Amino acid sequence: MLDAAFKDKVKADMKERLSAKRYTHTLGVAEAAVKLAYMYGIDIDKAETAALLHDAEKEDSLEHMQSLADSMYGDSLAPEIQANGNLLHGYAAASYAAMAYDIFDKDILNAIAHHTTGAESMSPLEKVIFLADYIEDNRDFPGVEKLRKAAEKSLNKGVLAGYDMTIQYLLQEGKTIFIGTVRNRNALLREMKHKGGY
Ligand code: DGI
Ligand code: FE
Ligand code: FE
């Protein structure tokens, strides 16, 4: 069990850093991540920690996000990620988690960093956070039930449905699609093909 004092400290910090709506979302992601972690036999404490911190930087300025992310990732981050807060806030939040809470567990940091666009090869913990962000109880967009059902079948099916929904949404809204999101989706499809669809 995660130290209650640590959990309370992170929650209080997030409550201060985030709007009421995003703080509620954060608590929802933590709950969904714990449930998924139980379901798929993944470390509960790591899932809860990553979930509580995943949007820590979401409401910060782009300049702040850039300097935080730069301290941890430098030029390894694609310019398209560096230029867009929507894509960058996870990487900035991972840097924040390391700096503010001395979290150096690579799996936790990757799960925070990759929660928006995924990654070419994701660990089960990364997949849990990616999915929990999408299906937590406060989400009510059309199609969320389909995602929740996919998440019950397998982590990969849930994540694939998440990628597809993001890409469909971006197309519908006429927004630019980060090429990495497409690459990551294709990589997951290949991974699933090797496993007979799972
Ligand atoms: O931070 P949250 O709102 O909880 O969720 P998130 O981290 O998944 O961020 C979602 C936002 O990021 C949403 O506005 C869509 C945007 N996004 C996700 N993938 C891409 C993207 N935006 C662009 N331009 N390109 C992408 O590939
Ligand atoms: Fe986010
Ligand atoms: Fe989120």
Mean pLDDT for the stretch of residues 69-84: 97
In a domain, 173, yes or no: no
Residues in contact with ligand 1 (CB, 6 Å cut-off): 25, 55, 58, 84, 86, 115-117, 133, 166, 170, 175-178, 181
Q: What is the reported pTM?
A: 0.97
For residue 173, give the amino acid letter: E
CA of 116 to the centre of ligand 1 (A): 6
Asked whether residue 84 is assigned to any structural domain, the reply reads yes
Number of domains in the chain: 1
Q: Mind giving me the DSSP string for 64-82?
A: HHHHHHHHHHGGGS-HHHH
Q: What is the CATH number of the domain that holds 92?
A: 1.10.3210.10
By residue count, the chain amounts to 198
User: Structural domain of residue 54, as residue ranges?
Assistant: 4-140
The residue behind tokens 């982590």 is: 155
Whether residue 70 is predicted with pLDDT greater than 90 in this model: the reply is yes
Element (H, E) at 35: helix 20-40
Question: Which atom, in ligand 1's list, is nearest to the CA of 115?
Answer: 7
In a domain, 9, yes or no: yes
Q: Of the ligands numbered here, which is closest to the C-alpha atom of 179?
A: 1
Q: pLDDT digit string (tens) for 143-163?
A: 999 999 999 999 999 999 999
Could you tell me if residue 120 is inside a domain?
yes
Distance CA 55, CA 88 (A): 11
Residue 148 lies in a domain: no
Q: Are 44 and 53 within 8 A, CB to CB? A: no
